[in-house]
Amino acid sequence: MRSLNFLAPTVKIGYDRFGRAVKTETEGFNESVFSVKTYNEKGLITSSTPSFGQSGTTVTTTYVYDDFGRINSETNSIGYTTYDYTPGSTEVTVTNQPSGHFSKKKTDAGGKLITAEDDGGTITYTYFSDGNVKDITNGITVATFEYDEYGRQTKLIDANAGTIEYLYNAFGELISQTDAKGTTAMEYDVLGRIITQTGPDGVTVYEYVTSGNGLNQVKKITTPEGNIVSYQYDELGRNTAVTETIDGADYTTTYKYDKFSNPIKTTYPSGFSVDRSFNAKGYFTQINNSADGKFIWKADAMNSFSQYTEFTLGNNVKTYKTFNEYGLVTDIYAGSIQSLSLTWNLTTGNLDERKYNLSDLKESFIYDDLSRLTQSTVNGKPSVTLTYSDNGNIATKTGLGSYIYKRGAPNAVETITLTDEIINQDEEGTATHNIISHNHQDITYTPFNKTKTITENNYELIIQYGAGNARKVTELKQSGVVIKKIIYSGSYEKIIIGSDTYEVHYIAGGDGLTAINVRHNNVDKMYYVYTDHLGSILKLTDESGAVIYEQNYDAWGRERNPVDWTYAPNI
């Protein structure tokens, strides 16, 4: 038995006489968390039970091997997976039950994958004599690779992206990459760190700390559009401040740590700040508003997967989350604000149904053999249906029509042929037809394949990017006049609409986005966030717990009416 406690929950590990870990006990948030393994006489794992609490349900997976030590089957409470080996071959077929899904793989003598087959077809790999991949095909050649005499990739010929060429220096560092958008050149210092990157959009410059705190870490990055990000560090090399220069103005976020390097304070560019608390076991327990000391989020309970099962927001409403034995959330309940139930297919991990109990809305999902979503049904009525072609492309979608792909680029959509379909019809018989907008848009892109401008009628949206190609500024113009501008700096946004300025602060708790603080005319208002299982915002409440905003999305991310889950008419 050995105990570990490196400024974290105590971990006790039990070993057998061969020095193999057979039982682990971790000091949990509410109770101890265990994991157990057993072995056979050959030292192979015969059973594994991960992360279970004293009061929780255990899930044990058992393993059976053949005479060669190859796994024959895995079995747990969901079902089982079998492995069938073809005699005299390196081919193995994997079948999952009860789903019936299978995959077949064949390797060469060196263990490299030659073919991979599943319900979607077969992918074939060929190699050069040195082991580097030469071609990947799935009926057509998807990608072809070329290398120099040192085994470094010099060319990629991709069915969609075209040809990309790579050039290296004597140290093996990539110094040039050329694709359809142009050439990007890289320059490095004597330590092999990138110092300049020159592309079609200009030069990005990297500087590093040469002495003192944060030695050899990034000090400053300057982008072609003039956006600058600067970093400061403490004596332990921890990042204590990030300053972003955007449109000539500085936006600084600062961080403070405790002696265990837990982040205990964050101050946003506006000066608004939050304090975080951790318990003696190292678990994150609470967030407070630094200005008035009021709590924003506090943890009440956690399960053996380190998932928060109970927490309370600053509106004094407690949220309860229920997870199944595999760590999938099945219920989210927060009084009169939220009651969401989720049903999962445990054999595939797909979501079968979600139900909003407060409004009695239910959505069911159907998938094909490749776990691709093919249909969603709202309260028993089909909402959106998709079909796919043999190569995996979307072929048709309800409300849109048929997809046509570019010749020579098998996965690039060229045209969608619209069909006039009714996707919603209310009780009065008013119909909503196909969901695609009929308005004409012109879209331009950056050399790094992100949207640069969107023009529609007399409106234009301009997007400016900074270090790491992250969005930093958006401007919405009407007839050439800026009517809305947003500046982005980490978890902070400044929104300018006419003469009004709003400063938005996103606050993350232990369960993701927890609250949003909005400052307008030097007055702060705190809004509390309620999300679905994916983290998509569904509702906002004020400090009293009253719902002040609600939204909802379908399975493909399209916004819909949160009251009845219908779509708006064509826009």
Residue 383: is its pLDDT beyond 70? yes
Does residue 225 register a pLDDT over 80? Answer: yes
Whole-angstrom distance, CA of residue 71 vs CA of residue 69: 6
Query: pLDDT, tens digit, for every residue of 259-288?
Result: 999 999 999 999 999 999 999 999 999 999
Question: Which residues, including other chains, have CB under 8 Å from residue 380's CB and lie 6 or more apart?
Answer: none
CB–CB of 304/323 below 8 Å? no
pLDDT of residue 6: 54
Q: Mean pLDDT score of the chain, rounded to an integer?
A: 93
Tens digits of per-residue pLDDT, 497-525? 999 999 999 999 999 999 999 999 999 99
What contacts 529, CB < 8 A, 6 or more positions away? 513, 514, 515, 516, 537, 539, 540
3 state DSSP class of 126 = strand
Residue 570 has pLDDT above 60, yes or no: no
Tokens representing residue 375 in the block: 């249909």
What's the pLDDT band for 181 if we cut at 50, 70, 90?
very high
Residues 6+ apart with CB under 8 A from 157: 143, 144, 145, 146, 163
Residue linked to tokens 């400016």: 464
Query: The whole model's pTM is what?
Result: 0.92
pLDDT at site 102: 84
Reply yes or no on whether the pLDDT at 42 is more than 50: yes
> What is the reported pLDDT for 98?
85
User: Can you tell me whether residue 27 is helix, strand or coil?
Assistant: coil
How far is Cα 27 from Cα 220, in angstroms, rounded to an integer? 41
Which positions ≥6 away from 62 have C-beta within 8 Å? 46, 47, 74, 75, 76
CA 178/CA 200 separation, integer angstroms: 10
Mean pLDDT of 78-94: 91
What mean pLDDT do residues 291-302 have?
97
Residue 431: pLDDT band by 50, 70, 90 thresholds?
low
Q: Is the pLDDT of residue 568 over 80?
A: no
Question: Which of 44-53, 83-92, 102-111, 217-226 shows the highest mean pLDDT?
Answer: 217-226
| Predicted pLDDT of residue 426 | 59
Q: Where are the domains of the chain?
A: 1-67, 360-434
Q: Is residue 42 classed exposed, middle or buried when 0-12, 13-18 and 19+ CB atoms within 10 A define those classes?
A: exposed
The CA distance from 155 to 177, in Å, is: 9
Instruction: Find all residues with CB under 8 Å of 315, minimum gap 6, and list them.
Output: 528, 541, 542, 543, 544, 545
* Length of the chain counted residue by residue: 571
Q: Are 73 and 80 in contact (CB under 8 A)?
A: yes
The whole-number pLDDT of residue 381 equals 84
* Beta carbons of 399 and 421 less than 8 angstroms apart: yes
Percent of the chain topping pLDDT 70: 95
Q: If pLDDT is split at 50, 70 and 90, which confidence band does 571 have?
A: very low
Q: Which of 115-124, 193-202, 534-543 has the lowest mean pLDDT?
A: 115-124
Question: Is the pLDDT at 417 greater than 90, yes or no?
Answer: no
Residues facing 517 on adjacent strands: 505, 526
- Helix extents (H) in 365-478: none
418 pLDDT band, cuts 50/70/90, is confident
Tokens, residue 435: 């969901």
Looking at the predicted structure, is the pLDDT value of residue 432 above 50?
yes
Q: How would you class 277 by CB atoms within 10 Å of its CB: exposed for 0-12, middle for 13-18, buried for 19 or more?
A: middle
Q: Please give the residue that has the higher pLDDT: either 77 or 320.
A: 320
Q: What is the arithmetic mean of pLDDT over 91-103?
A: 87
Q: Tokens at residue 356, please?
A: 């909003």
- Whether 82 has a pLDDT exceeding 80, the answer reads yes
Q: Cα dihedral sign for 81, 86, 88, 91? A: negative
Is the pLDDT reported for residue 234 higher than 80?
Answer: yes
Indicate if the pLDDT at residue 438 is higher than 80.
no
Q: What's residue 58's pLDDT?
A: 85
The percentage of residues in the chain with a pLDDT greater than 90, rounded to a whole number, is 81
**Whether residue 98 has a cis bond before it, omega within 30° of 0:** yes
Name the 3-class secondary structure at 469.
helix
pLDDT of residue 5: 56
Residue 435 pLDDT > 70: no
Q: Give yes or no for a contact between 127 and 111, defined as CB atoms under 8 angstroms apart.
A: no
